[in-house]
A and B are shown apart, each in its own frame.
Chain A
Amino acid sequence: MALIAVAGLYFTTRHHGVPTGTRGKAIAEQSLAPDFSLPDLSGQKLDLSSYRGKVVLLDFWATWCDPCREEIPHFVELQNRYGGQGLQIIGVSMDDGPEPVRDFYQRFKMNYPVVMGNAKTGELYGGVLGLPIAFLIGRDGRVSAKHIGATDISVFESEIATLLRVK
């Protein structure tokens, strides 16, 4: 019984079992995703509008955010699985600077672009006042869904599959 109790204590303090995020209000139903031009980790400008025609998963995250860190390996899997069908994941880091993000990018073998966000980017998207927050954007550039908090990857996958079917 002591072993079970201790094991229970251990597993309940680990970084998993994060509550599923709630589906928050959209910026505006089917509104065009606000465009931005932000530097990626190599300093090159990335324009969101250049991805029109693809399904975009826009993930606001930070290296110090544990639920964000748990989602990222799953996003890497999704990019591998659906990238050929038109999925593009873009990470928007809300870290204060790029150094820890570059280190994280390498360690987690991220396979999608990450840009450095700021307060203005957050305000464009209705206020990013907690992390993670993810937006799904259809091929037409319109916001399809917003997820506040860590979200089960199966939810993302289902929504992505639906959006990819729209040509």
Chain B
Amino acid sequence: MSIPVKFRQMLLVLIFGTVAIAVGSPAFAYQASLIPASRLINPDQLVKILQSAKSEKPLMTQVGSHVLYTQAHIPGSEYIGPASSESGLQSLRKRVESLPRNKFIVLYCGCCPWSHCPNVKPADDALRAMGFTNVKVLHIPGNFGMDWVEKGFPVAKGD
């Protein structure tokens, strides 16, 4: 059965309109879930690297909340600022601009459930845009408390 031309046109407008809304939505832009698995590192894997005498140690940057960072953070990690804000992204760019582009860097946040984190994807995107080729994002499914601290992984407090 052939579909009338006008109906096909309306359907196409509806489809493309829906896609445009979804892609343009802030929810879509911040979705940590869109970071490919190849760019992720799990807490277990990171801890093994940190505890190994042989492994290259990454520059670790927390790109979320300062209040959360002060309560608990990965020892040796630096607080950069929320990457969901332009000022946080500028701080990140400034921190890494002089580093070799193959420097091993780990980004993390842990503020809220992974799919709702507004910080890690913008940070990852910013580093890729600067040409960094060895960046991993720490996959924290729930939050930093549940998936790092309560698992008994190393923790530091304060600034």
Given contacts A3-B15, A64-B84, contact A131 B71 (CB under 8 A): no
- Distance of A111 from chain B, by nearest CB (Å): 24
Q: Which residues of A contact B66 (CB under 8 A)?
A: 96
Q: Which residues of B contact A132 (CB under 8 A)?
A: 112
Give Cα distance in the complex from A132 to B111, angstroms: 9
Are A6 and B15 in contact, with the CB atoms below 8 A? yes
Are A94 and B11 in contact, with the CB atoms below 8 A? no
Give Cα distance in the complex from A139 to B14, angstroms: 53
Q: Which residues of A contact B145 (CB under 8 A)?
A: 127-130, 148
Consensus secondary structure, chain A interface: loop
Given contacts A119-B71, A130-B145, contact A14 B112 (CB under 8 A): no
Q: Which residues of B contact A6 (CB under 8 A)?
A: 15, 18-19, 22
**Chain A 113-134 residues near chain B, CB threshold 8 A:** 117-119, 122-123, 127-132
Q: Which residues of A contact B116 (CB under 8 A)?
A: 15, 18, 65-67
Q: Which residues of A contact B72 (CB under 8 A)?
A: 127, 129
Q: What's the tally of chain B residues with a CB closer than 8 Å to chain A?
A: 34
Q: What's the tally of chain A residues with a CB closer than 8 Å to chain B?
A: 34
Give Cα distance in the complex from A2 to B146, angstroms: 39
Of the candidates B22, B67, B113, B144, the one whose C-beta lies within 8 Å of that of A118 is B67
Interface check A166, CB cutoff 8 A: no
Residues in chain A within 8 A of chain B (CB atoms) = 2-3, 6-7, 9-10, 13-15, 18-19, 62, 64-68, 94-96, 117-119, 122-123, 127-132, 148-150
Top-6 shortest CB links A-B: A130-B143, A129-B145, A119-B70, A10-B22, A66-B116, A94-B67
